Amino acid sequence: MNKQLEESTASAAREDLAYAPIHSLAAKMRSGELTAAALIDCYLQRISRHDEKYHAFVEVYADEARAAAEAADHAFKSGEVRGPLHGIPIALKDLIDVAGKRTTGGSLYWRERVSPVTATVAQRLADAGMITLGKTHMVEFAFGAWGTNQTMGTPWNPWDLETPRAPGGSSSGSGVAVAAALAPAAIGSDTGGSVRIPASLCGIVGLKTTVGRVSNYGTLRLSETLDTLGPMTRDVEDAAILFGAMHGFDPQDAQTFTHTQVDPLRDLKKGVSGMRFAVLPDEDFGELDPEVTSAFARALDVMRSLGARVDTLRLPIAYKRVAEIVGKIIAAEGYALHRGWIDRDDLPFDHDVRDRIRWARGLSAADYIQVMTERKEAQRDVHASLREYAALLLPTTPLPAVPLSEVDQSKAPMSLLTRPINLLDLCALALPCGFTSGGLPISLQIAGRGYDEPRILRIGWAFENATDWHRRRPPAP
């Protein structure tokens, strides 16, 4: 009996370690309570035991990760600590190049593609001492909000072990890996919601950065105009720490040239008292699941209880119209990037993604110029409307994760509330704000003006620390 109790206690301790946030893991390593080798082994064991079910990883770098952990522990003993990310594991979406490793972009067409360079974001995280566990699955070419992939497989949303549900896309594997504690954090990309949607459906935190904040050098692209990279984490403080390491000037990406470095941790815990938030009229949200509506209303009450003011704001352009413009830009630029192979019928593409990209064949140059003009006008008008507000609050997705059997690939409801943020060149944070009666996560989206990531992280931290939604765990497999 004592042996069974010891085994149960040890198992619970390993589970607690796997679900601990980065800042807690870093503190344990600094104190000598935890080694990088033990931490890496914890996650590699979980991947070995559970990823056959979750299908989060395309490839796992077990040997390299163990070697890097040994090097980190040796550095710790020598007093050479690089910072709060030293020795911490990370998973990378499979569109981020690591020289000498395969990067597929979620496509069988690129299954044997070997990265010629290392992406700036991967290099910066490595320089900070992070240890890459491997690459995560994604929607092919990063074009899809449901998170499905017909050719390389769809990751399993961990909040329902019986019924396969949409994990959210396109950073599906990154969302599942963090939610299922196969990694303490992951990097995703967001062109129309691809960090925030899986964060919403998988019950984690996701930060959509402003274009130019984080270098896109060394990543497989979908939209030259809209692509951004962002962290996917257990809590807001972790997202802030990762953002701090990821962002900044990169001579290899011109989009980063005019944006100075910021410290997202300086004001993180100063609260929201006195801030003024905007919310859209109900009709702008479209059709929301009733439980999403209720959770969002409660989230607004939490903000008010923290001393913030919440006002209804009607934007100068219909929110749904903004989402439609984004779809045209993504399709047009995606087709421009992939037209050399996407028109071939003899290649093993995901049919749904292929059809979305091929749709842009009928979009003329004049059409494209028109939507880009509309984008500039919308940016100007909406930024003026938001000038007096610290943030715009809205649900992240209108629905919780639906069964894959109910997914309609001809529709994109999951991105209706996220796409406009990309078009308007705002930044946004997604974080848990409730659960359905069936135990599925619901998410709050905090959108801020471009390059205002520190403030939306501050708002998210205040909300998160007034609630406990982020502490919930999916059922054990």
Q: What is the pLDDT of residue 4?
A: 66
- For residue range 402-460, what is the model confidence (pLDDT) as tens digits? 999 999 999 999 999 999 999 999 999 999 999 999 999 999 999 999 999 999 999 99
| Confidence grade of residue 9 (pLDDT, cut at 50, 70, 90) | low
Residue 3 has pLDDT above 80, yes or no: no
pLDDT for res 125: 98
Tens of pLDDT, residues 270-283: 999 999 999 999 99
Q: Mean pLDDT, the chain, as a whole number?
A: 96
pLDDT at 323: 83
| CA torsion, ordered 285, 407, 104, 417, to nearest 10 deg | 0
Query: What is the widest separation between alpha-carbon atoms in the chain?
Result: 75
**Residue-level pLDDT at 324:** 84
**What per-residue string of b and e applies to 460-471 under the rule 16 or more CB within 10 Å gives b?**
bbbbbeebebbe
Which tokens go with 476?
């054990």
Out of 107, 172, 174, 194, which one is annotated catalytic?
194
In percent, the amount of the chain with pLDDT more than 70 equals: 98
User: What percent of the chain is modeled with pLDDT above 90?
Assistant: 94
Averaged pLDDT, 378-393:
96
Residues in a beta bridge with 232:
186, 206
Domains and their CATH numbers in the chain: 2-318+372-471 (3.90.1300.10)
Q: Is 8 a catalytic residue?
A: no
Predicted pLDDT of residue 1: 52
- Mark out the alpha helices in 187-289 (DSSP H runs): 196-202, 236-246
Active site residue 320: no
- CA separation for the pair 231, 152 (Å, rounded): 23
Q: Which of 170, 172, 189, 415 is catalytic?
A: 170
Provide the pLDDT for residue 120. Answer: 98
User: What value does the mean pLDDT take over residues 349-360?
Assistant: 95
The confidence score (pLDDT) of residue 353 equals: 96
- pLDDT above 90 (res 12): no
pLDDT tens-digit readout, 60-111: 999 999 999 999 999 999 999 999 999 999 999 999 999 999 999 999 999 9
Q: Which amino acid is at 23?
A: H
Residue 318: the pLDDT is 86
Could you read off the pLDDT of 109-128 as tens digits, one per residue? 999 999 999 999 999 999 99
Q: Which residues contact 299 (CB under 8 A, 6 or more apart)?
A: 393, 433, 434, 444, 463
Tokens of 236: 């807001």
**The pLDDT of residue 321:** 84
The whole-number pLDDT of residue 161 equals: 98
What are the b/e assignments for 245-276, b being 16+ CB within 10 Å?
A: bbbbebeebebbeebeebebbeebeebbeebe
Q: How far is CA 248 from CA 135, 143, 254, 346, 458, in A?
A: 23, 26, 11, 42, 19
**Range in 5-14, 353-362, 466-475 the model is least confident about:** 5-14
Dihedral pair phi/psi, residue 289, rounded to 5°: -60, 135
Respond yes or no: is residue 93 known to be catalytic: yes
pLDDT at position 427, please?
98
Give the position of tokens 């984008």: 375
Range with the poorest average pLDDT among 125-134, 211-220, 336-345, 395-404: 336-345
Q: What is the structure's pLDDT at 10?
A: 73
CA dihedral 432, 435, 440, 444 (to 10 degrees): -30
Residue 86 has a pLDDT of 98
End-to-end CA distance of the chain: 24
pLDDT of residue 440: 98
Please determine, for residue 137, whether its predicted confidence score (pLDDT) is greater than 60: yes
Q: Which pLDDT band holds residue 298 (cuts at 50, 70, 90)?
A: very high
